[in-house]
């Protein structure tokens, strides 16, 4: 998805949409939201959605999702104050990994940014990869993954 | 206000209430929102309210409000995900300074934190104190300041 | 200390000095280090010093220090890139609490900011106050506290 | 570079190495540096180096470098307190864009993370792409770009 033209992404391309307001300190010396902040939004949207969709506190399980790769393309400048809409979809479900695709929308039809975010599930103690937990696979069905 | 018992503060003690969601990265290794984040919320609430209440982009004027003092008392732990309510009130309006009082509410009746935030208005170029701008004084009337 | 004139504080008023570089994103739209960042420095200096001075990972013990109060006065603007010096001293050692005094120095003799930071030690599980741990009291002797 | 195995990267693969300490709040609930923070380090290393290598405050020119793409692969967990070494190299110099490659090293020989960071230079007012400024091209010669 990120290899295609991300400017063509629309809100309707994402099964989940979540609102994220910007903060004053998100804006850097150039008067726009700093590039780092987009990842704070991705992180919050993926994990916030997972906590709600699984109905469990994902931080407390024996398996935890560690971030192994992220990326973002910046297409338009964002400002404070504003309430952004972040779209969340599934790029790929592997045996132990989940790749999400994300986009950030301001008022415009086209996204202001598009990115990816990859979790690998590991055993909390040993940090060795494990199968994506059943409760996460169930939640991912909402994003279009095959039913577990 | 901060010298009284802040646990007795209630939402109704604040003329302005604004919602602020937490972010995943706000939570530190102890599993609660890190003490630094409360100030990011104060900053966003004061400036977000000022931008809306004055109807102007306060960052673009000849006078800018610089923060000269902040403080916070932490009364209960906060978590992610949650949407907090931040109360904003006026503590004191001086010739060139504005002291705000703030509190952060989770689901409970009592605040999870209470703080103060002091702006001094300065000339953007010289950084010398100036009178609080008229448009700001007008907005502060909403918080109970005498009409300018 | 914070009630006296903090502009008169000097590096020599602090038994511990630690260097902290600023980050690009610390600077906000006004072209100076945002007021929130000072607390990230305080937090890092107190906890970084505690980890080194106690020789233990303070995060792993049965007692943890929770922050119950912080405050800062901003005296001069800070920029990126720069390596700041943060001074750390003891304001007061109580039965279960430790109040630190801090100041941030740029190139100038006078501090750019001065603050306080108060830990209360609690039992990790019950979150009820406990006596300041012996290993912390030993470390605090370096800051001028009576030997435990 | 990021398409090859980033675990094989070494400090000697980077013409510039800069030290970056972690902060207490960089560590999230999982007890490691949060994935967002790596981008704060990239941002600080690229811009800090540019300011020093060009001898000018890059924020003040008529042309500014806007970030159009970033990415990171996370290979090992990082902690606080620690002083990391960030390697900076040139991936590609275009007409108006500069792609940097970066890696973050802890004590180990292999990197803990590897990423890329792409600036496009634009006119500050119109935000339209311009040629990479001469002073930046001169600095990039240090990273192996052809002399301007």
Cα B11 → chain centroid: 14
**C1 has pLDDT over 50:** no
Q: How many CB atoms lie within 10 A of CB A102?
A: 30
Nearest CA in chain D to B35: D25
Contact A12, A85 (CB under 8 A): no
What's the token pair of residue B140?
A: 């502060």
State the smallest CA–CA distance between residue D46 and chain C in angstroms.
9
- What rounded mean pLDDT belongs to chain D? 95
Share of chain C above pLDDT 70, in %: 98
**Residue among B27, B38, B145 at smallest CA distance from B93:** B145
State the smallest CA–CA distance between residue A77 and chain B in angstroms.
17
Beta-strand ranges (E) seen in chain B are 16-21, 63-74, 83-93, 97-105, 113-123
**A106 has pLDDT over 70:** yes
State the smallest CA–CA distance between residue C69 and chain A in angstroms.
22
**Residue among D67, D70, D87, D83 at smallest CA distance from D33:** D83
User: How far apart are alpha carbons C30 and C36 in whole angstroms?
Assistant: 14
**Residue among B60, D73, B29 at smallest CA distance from A79:** B60
C52-56's contacts with Cβ under 8 Å and 24+ in sequence apart are C52/D81, C53/C139, C53/C142, C54/C135, C54/C136, C54/C138, C54/C139, C55/C135, C56/C135
Q: Which of D24, D29, D36 sits opposite B27 (nearest CB)?
A: D29
Mark yes or no for CB contact B29/D34 under 8 Å: no
Mutation target to probe the D interface, by most D beta carbons within 10 A, among A67, A75, A76, A112 is A67
Question: A148 falls in which pLDDT band (50, 70, 90)?
Answer: confident
User: Using a CB-CB distance cutoff of 8 angstroms, which residues of chain D are in contact with residue C81?
Assistant: 44, 47-48, 51-52
The CATH number of D6-143 is which of 3.30.365.10, 1.10.10.10, 3.10.129.10, 3.10.450.50? 3.10.129.10
Alpha helices in chain C (DSSP H): 37-54, 134-140
Sheet with strand C97-105: strands edge to edge = B16-21, B83-93, B97-105, B113-123, B63-74, C63-74, C113-123, C97-105, C83-93, C16-21
Indicate the pTM of the whole model.
0.96
pLDDT in tens, A68-79: 999 999 999 999
Mutation target to probe the A interface, by most A beta carbons within 10 A, among D46, D71, D77 is D71
Helix (H) or strand (E) holding B140: helix B134-140
Helix (H) or strand (E) holding D53: helix D37-54
Residue with tokens 């039809």: A109
Contact C111, C9 (CB under 8 A): yes
Helix (H) or strand (E) holding C122: strand C113-123
User: How far apart are alpha carbons D2 and B48 in whole angstroms?
Assistant: 40
Q: CA angle B9-B13-B18, nearest 5°?
A: 100
Per CATH, the number for B11-37+61-143 is 3.10.129.10
Mark yes or no for CB contact A34/C28 under 8 Å: no
**D107 has pLDDT over 80:** yes
Contact D85, D108 (CB under 8 A): no
Burial of B110 (0-12, 13-18, 19+ CB in 10 A): middle
The D-side interface with B (CB below 8 A) comprises: 24-25, 27-29, 31, 34, 36
The D-side interface with C (CB below 8 A) comprises: 20-21, 23-25, 31, 40-41, 43-44, 47-48, 51-52, 59, 80-81
Average pLDDT score over residue span B1-28: 91
Bridging pattern class, strands B97-105 and A97-105: unpaired
Average pLDDT score over residue span D37-57: 96
User: How far apart are alpha carbons A93 and A147 in whole angstroms?
Assistant: 11
Q: Which of A21, A24, A43 sits opposite B24 (nearest CB)?
A: A43
Question: What is the domain partition of chain B in residue ranges?
Answer: 11-37+61-143
User: Using a CB-CB distance cutoff of 8 angstroms, which residues of chain A are in contact with residue D63?
Assistant: none
Neighbours of C, requiring at least 3 CB pairs below 8 Å, are A, B, D
**Residue among D97, D100, D99 at smallest CA distance from D120:** D97
State the smallest CA–CA distance between residue D142 and chain A in angstroms.
25
User: How far apart are alpha carbons A19 and A16 in whole angstroms?
Assistant: 10
pLDDT in tens, B75-122: 999 999 999 999 999 999 999 999 999 999 999 999 999 999 999 999
pLDDT at position A147, please? 82
Nearest CA in chain B to D34: B25
pLDDT at position A40, please? 98
User: Using a CB-CB distance cutoff of 8 angstroms, which residues of chain B are in contact with residue D27?
Assistant: 28-29
Mark yes or no for CB contact C23/D31 under 8 Å: no
pLDDT in tens, D11-35: 999 999 999 999 999 999 999 999 9
Mark yes or no for CB contact C40/D25 under 8 Å: yes
C118-121's contacts with Cβ under 8 Å and 24+ in sequence apart are C118/C67, C118/C68, C118/C69, C118/C70, C119/C46, C119/C65, C119/C66, C119/C67, C119/C68, C120/C65, C120/C66, C120/C68, C120/C96, C121/C63, C121/C64, C121/C65, C121/C66, C121/C96, C121/C97
Mark yes or no for CB contact C44/D20 under 8 Å: no
Mutation target to probe the A interface, by most A beta carbons within 10 A, among D42, D48, D67 is D67
The C-side interface with B (CB below 8 A) comprises: 29-30, 34-36, 39-40, 43, 59, 64, 66-74, 77, 127
What are the helix and strand counts (H, E) for chain C? 2, 5
User: How far apart are alpha carbons A101 and A72 in whole angstroms?
Assistant: 10
Question: C146 falls in which pLDDT band (50, 70, 90)?
Answer: confident
pLDDT at position B2, please? 45
Beta-strand ranges (E) seen in A7-112 are 16-21, 63-74, 83-93, 97-105
Q: How many CB atoms lie within 10 A of CB A81?
A: 18
User: Using a CB-CB distance cutoff of 8 angstroms, which residues of chain D are in contact with residue A67?
Assistant: 35, 74
pLDDT at position B148, please? 82
């Amino acid at each position: 998805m990120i290899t295609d033209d991300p400017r063509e992404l629309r809100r309707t391309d994402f099964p989940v949409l979540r609102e994220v307001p910007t903060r004053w300190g998100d804006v850097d010396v150039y008067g726009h939201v700093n590039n780092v902040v987009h990842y704070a939004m991705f992180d919050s949207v993926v994990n916030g959605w997972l906590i709600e969709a699984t109905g469990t506190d994902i931080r407390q399980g024996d398996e935890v999702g560690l971030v192994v790769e992220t990326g973002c393309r910046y297409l338009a400048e964002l400002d404070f104050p504003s309430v952004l809409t972040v779209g969340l979809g599934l790029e790929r479900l592997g045996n132990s990994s989940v790749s999400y695709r994300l986009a950030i929308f301001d008022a415009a039809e086209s996204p202001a940014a598009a990115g990816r975010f990859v979790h690998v599930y590991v055993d909390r103690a040993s940090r060795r990869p494990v199968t994506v937990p059943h409760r996460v696979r169930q939640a991912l069905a909402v994003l279009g993954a095959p039913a577990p």
